[in-house]
Amino acid sequence: MSRLPQTAAALAAAVALLAAGCSSAAPSPGPTAAAVPTAPAPAPVLRPAVTAVLPHDPGSYTQGLVWQRGRLFESAGLYGRSDLREVRPRTGRVLRVRRLPARYFAEGLAAVDDRLVQLTWREGTAFVWARDTFRPRGRATYSGEGWGLATHGRRLLMSDGTSALRVLDARTLREVAPRIPVRDAGTPPGRLNELEVVHGLVWANLYPTDRVAVIDPATGRVRATLDLSGLRRRLPAGSRAEALNGIAWDRAGDRVLVTGKWWPRMFALRVPPALRG
């Protein structure tokens, strides 16, 4: 046999083996699209129903409200005009007043057992009062500004004009846990002011707007934003009303009372079902 036929046969066999190998190989995967993270959706905007309209002292520069066992307490601000007061809700009548020295600007207010704790704005001092007599029960100090204050279990939550909440010991006002950054779809909602805890969620006035952020204190996430701008349209013509400020939860009636700085009216709101725990 000549060498040329042998070479041709070998070449044919090699080509056959190569073809078989290619047919059995797994196809190479094509390019895959990178997963795009989904941005969190903004909190829903709710407009709670008004269940009652009550009178309110238009001379009160409201900074804090507290409802406890059928009684309403209020902290009013401004230098030279700051005070603590007990108010009759149905009439707006001031039943009792404790005035602060002129160098203090009163701010948020919270009830701790039979005591009322009242912040001041830039003075770093919290006054502690006996709830039933308004007699002094002591003072506590803190750093930075004091804005809003609310009781949360055996602790207090405090705002300072930023978008974070401080966690305080209820008696010493020392910070006992890391601050809670508040976010709505990853964005700070604004300057947190007056605070109230309602069904375990923190309601916070967003100064100087007519909106309230409802915050999960475990995560700092805004669960809802309450648009209360419609309340301003229900104030008397010519009112000098400033920002919405003042939130108090009537637990027994499951309603929230809100008012504002120099507002001549207070409004009772129905708690939206989605925010009842």
Q: How many CA atoms lie within 13 A of 194 on its CB side?
A: 31
In a domain, 32, yes or no: no
In a domain, 194, yes or no: yes
Q: Which domain holds residue 104?
A: 45-275
Cα–Cα distance measured from residue 221 to residue 108, given in angstroms and rounded to the nearest whole number: 22
Give the residue among 171, 166, 169, 237 at the shortest CA–CA distance from 195.
Answer: 166
Q: Report pLDDT for 220.
A: 98
96 has pLDDT over 80: yes
Q: Report pLDDT for 32.
A: 56
In a domain, 17, yes or no: no
In a domain, 150, yes or no: yes
In a domain, 233, yes or no: yes
Cα distances from 53 to residues 229, 263, 269, in angstroms, run 15, 12, 9
Q: Report pLDDT for 40.
A: 82
In a domain, 5, yes or no: no
Read off the CATH number of the domain in which 165 is found. 2.120.10.30
Q: Report pLDDT for 110.
A: 98
In a domain, 23, yes or no: no
In a domain, 18, yes or no: no
In angstroms, how far is CA 116 from the centroid of its own chain? 21
Cα–Cα distance measured from residue 145 to residue 164, given in angstroms and rounded to the nearest whole number: 12
**pLDDT average, residue stretch 46-53:** 98
Q: Sign of dihedral through CA atoms 109, 270, 262, 144?
A: positive
Q: Report pLDDT for 56.
A: 98
Which is it for strands 45-46 and 222-227: parallel, antiparallel or unpaired?
Answer: parallel
Band of residue 175 on the pLDDT scale cut at 50, 70, 90: very high
Q: Report pLDDT for 277.
A: 64
* Residue 114 · residue 130 · CB < 8 Å: yes
12 has pLDDT over 70: no
Q: Report pLDDT for 36.
A: 62
Q: Report pLDDT for 35.
A: 61
**pLDDT average, residue stretch 62-68:** 98
143 has pLDDT over 60: yes
pLDDT digits (tens, 9 = 90+) for 181-220: 999 999 999 999 999 999 999 999 999 999 999 999 999 9
Total structural domains within the chain: 1
Give the residue among 45, 66, 145, 74 at the shortest CA–CA distance from 104.
Answer: 145
Among left, alpha and beta (phi > 0; psi -120 to 50; other), residue 114 is alpha
Which is it for strands 71-76 and 115-120: parallel, antiparallel or unpaired?
Answer: unpaired
28 has pLDDT over 90: no
Share of the chain above pLDDT 90, in %: 84
Q: Report pLDDT for 33.
A: 53
177 has pLDDT over 90: yes
User: What 3-state DSSP class applies to 201?
Assistant: strand
